[in-house]
Structure 1
Amino acid sequence: PGYALNYFNVNDPVYNAMVEEVLATMDPAKRMEKYKEAAQYLLSQHWGMPFILQYKYNVWQPWVKSYYGGAVALSFCGVGDIFARLWIDQDLKAEMGY
């Protein structure tokens, strides 16, 4: 509990101890080994389904300017910085019949 990436809200004493051990291990090779052990334990408990990556497409109209395909849907960073810079080329939009 208390970790941003704890998507399944796991609060298991064994797993919590494993995570703390991973975080306390400074040697990269040992840390990775402990991380793998924690991941195997997490998966063996069936608390949730890991996220499955999927193809994503961003499409936009040619009259939408200052947009270059940045992620919008399900963005952890938010979309305010993207929307703040968009503008509509009204002349091009009218020229295209919209």
Structure 2
Amino acid sequence: DKIGVTVNLNTVEQAAFDAMGRAVTYDDTIVGKFDIANPYFGLYKRARSRPLGIFNQADWSNERFDELMDVVAASTEPADQSVAYKEAAVILINEVPYIPLTLCPRRHYWWPWVKNYYGEWNVQDNPSPYPFAFAWIDQNLKEEMGY
């Protein structure tokens, strides 16, 4: 009110929020996170055209971007995927379908004795097991550090 803006919030339970996101039954939204650890989740799921971009809450579409995401999905070669991801990221940045509001990592942790893990995913109570399948604990270093 002090700056001439009135905001009407519509808070809903998680199931309703998810349904609204999939159906795009809104004019605007704030998305709380945009995955940064794995380009597949951040680019393919959040930005590829629907129905494959199941979390594309902006309902954004770009034919070249989709072609690049199809290359990523069909390839098993990290080098080929990397080339496609880089070109796709430039398209995404230039077209700005999302304006990120959370500009810093949240709830990211690091322990020197956990090897092959770099804090690239939130360590919290949500189901994010992907990096942990490849991490290992250096028990000797952990013990040397007093843990």
The alignment's TM-score, normalised by the length of structure 1, stands at: 0.47
Structure with the greater alpha carbon radius of gyration: 1
TM-score of the aligned structures, taking structure 2 as reference length = 0.34
| Relative contact order higher in (CA < 8 Å, ≥ 6 apart) | 1
